[in-house]
Structure 1
Amino acid sequence: MRIKLDLESEESFPEWAFGKHAIQSMIYSHLDSTEYRKLHDSKSFKFFTFSDLYPRGHFKPGVRKSLIISSPDEGFIETLYEKLLPDERFYLGNHSLRVISIKKFRLRPRKAFITGSPIVVNARPGMGRFFTFHHDGSLDYFIRAITENAVRKYSSFTGEYFQLEGPLFTRMIPRVRKDGWVDVYVRVNIRGKYFDVPGSTWKLLEAKITPDNRDFYAFVMDAGVWILNSLGFGFINPIRPTRA
């Protein structure tokens, strides 16, 4: 289940003026007086994520940007939807944004997806904190890691054993930077310290969806892929696949 916020600024400022942690803090602040008030301190999976603000570019008066928040927990989305108010203003860093519209909706998974924020994966032992294609380069490890994590999160959410036949995605086409690298870096605030977190974005993630695994892929679509989902990483959207 998802919420789409359309937002406008009343001043001009660069898009890097605040980070993902500011959006995360805004979400948690709207949950303060609800049954989800302790979610921030939970050591287990958070089961929500959010997109990058889009379209890309600097903030300017009258220029509308959108944010999508998703979760397989319908209670979470319903609660947040009730707390977010039309025409309210909230601060992200030192800048305020006005809510123009709020929409609550559901999407069904299709056989293809696109990333709406970078996917972040833990590195293998001895390879640093986060996986990068530049330093590791193993697509096999990347696919195995995101598959195992998705199954573990789904089993944790449902309380039932689940086994996926095959990898999470059967066809993957990355977005490649102008310098030829796949890795992108996002500066985030984690426990009061700033880090450049590497991830990857993908213009096609194709899956083999069947009646037996459709609920699983609906979960993955709304919970996010791999780690740091509650910090706005691993967000994916369903798309109609095109032949590349």
Structure 2
Amino acid sequence: MRVMLDLHGERDAEYKTNYHHKLRGRIWQALDGSKYDAEHGNDEPLGLAFSNIFPWGDIDEGDSRNLLVASPREGMLATLAENVQANPEFNVGDMPFTVTDIRSLDVDVGEPGTRGVLETATGVIVSLYDHHRKEYGIAADHQDSQDPTYWRPKHTVEPFRDAITDNLQTKHNQFAPDYIPGPTDVDDPLFDGYDLIKTYSLPVTVTEGVELDVVLSKWRFEYTVRDDTHRRHLNLALNTGLGGRNALGFGFINIVERTKPGETELEGQNAFA
């Protein structure tokens, strides 16, 4: 499930590329005092992902922008919505906004047989841990083998594929019913195709006073929904994000193409638009 926030720019502002920590802070401000407050800062997946403020670019006073927030936890999104309706001031560091509307969106990859493409709206952080490195013969970036190695194109797509599937399995274990097999419990892959758009590095404030240089990648993922279990896996990825640091706004994905069974690609794209 997702909610869309419509934002009104309150004054001219430079679009900050290091918005992640401040935007996460405003979302947690909305969850302050709720039953979710105790989860702030723990190491478990929160089941929360969000887009960048879009469209991208410097802000003029009066501009209209948007923000998408996703979660498999309907109550979390409802708490967020109630708070921003009561407190519409939505400042992201030096970028001041007011929330003018908020609405829910039901986003679904489609019934079995549907073909489509998911695209990353924000960069994916993929950390390769010791078991991934051993399997693929990847040298560690650090002396401590427990520290992750950020995925780069030189590592090839296979460890990226395995790492995002393992990460999604962790989220499945937390948010999906026990009787449904997870993405690592089935033999077929999550996606049919992996098209790398770009890789880049970015300094990110992970908590006040702590900054990391992370390596991110942007992708287009082709999929064909095999069955209802696969549909649940793909929709979970839409609701939680892919890879790590989703609660900082990384790994957020959107459906950019979708063709239902029996439709041509052109019909499917027109219907989706």
Tell whether the structures are fold-level matches, with TM greater than 0.5. Answer: yes
Residue in structure 1 matching 2:122, options 117, 122, 125 = 117
Q: Look up the match of 2:22.
A: 22
State the 4+ residue runs in structure 1 displaced beyond 6 angstroms.
none
Contact 1:2 1:105 in 2 (8 A): yes
Contact 1:146 1:168 in 2 (8 A): no
Q: Look up the match of 1:173.
A: 195
Task: Give the gaps of 5 or more residues in structure 2.
Answer: 111-115, 131-139, 143-147, 259-264, 267-273
Q: How far did residue 205 of structure 1 move?
A: 0.7
Q: What SS does the aligned partner of 1:38 have? A: helix
Contact 1:4 1:66 in 2 (8 A): yes
> Structure 1's 232 and 130: CA in aligned 2 closer, same or farther, altered over 3 A?
farther
Q: May I ask how many residue pairs the two structures share in their alignment?
A: 235
Deviation string 1:180-239 (CA, Å, 9 cap, x unpaired) is: xx212333211321223221112x211232223212221111111011011101111122
1:95-106 paired onto structure 2 within 5 Å: 95-106=95-106
Contact 2:126 2:160 in 1 (8 A): yes
Contact 1:17 1:93 in 2 (8 A): no
Find the aligned partners of 1:45 and 1:183 in 2 and give their Cα distance. Answer: 24
Contact 2:18 2:203 in 1 (8 A): no
Q: What SS does the aligned partner of 1:54 have? A: coil
Q: How far did residue 27 of structure 1 move?
A: 0.6
Find the aligned partners of 1:77 and 1:88 in 2 and give their Cα distance. Answer: 15
1:1-244 paired onto structure 2 within 5 Å: 1-16=1-16, 19-85=19-85, 88-110=88-110, 111-125=116-130, 126-127=140-141, 129-134=148-153, 136-158=154-176, 160=178, 161-162=181-182, 163-175=185-197, 182-191=198-207, 192-202=209-219, 204-209=220-225, 210-240=227-257
Q: Which has the higher helix share?
A: 2
TM normalised by structure 2 equals 0.79
Q: Look up the match of 1:178.
A: none
Q: What SS does the aligned partner of 1:11 have? A: coil
Contact 2:151 2:160 in 1 (8 A): no
- CA-atom RMSD in angstroms: 2.1
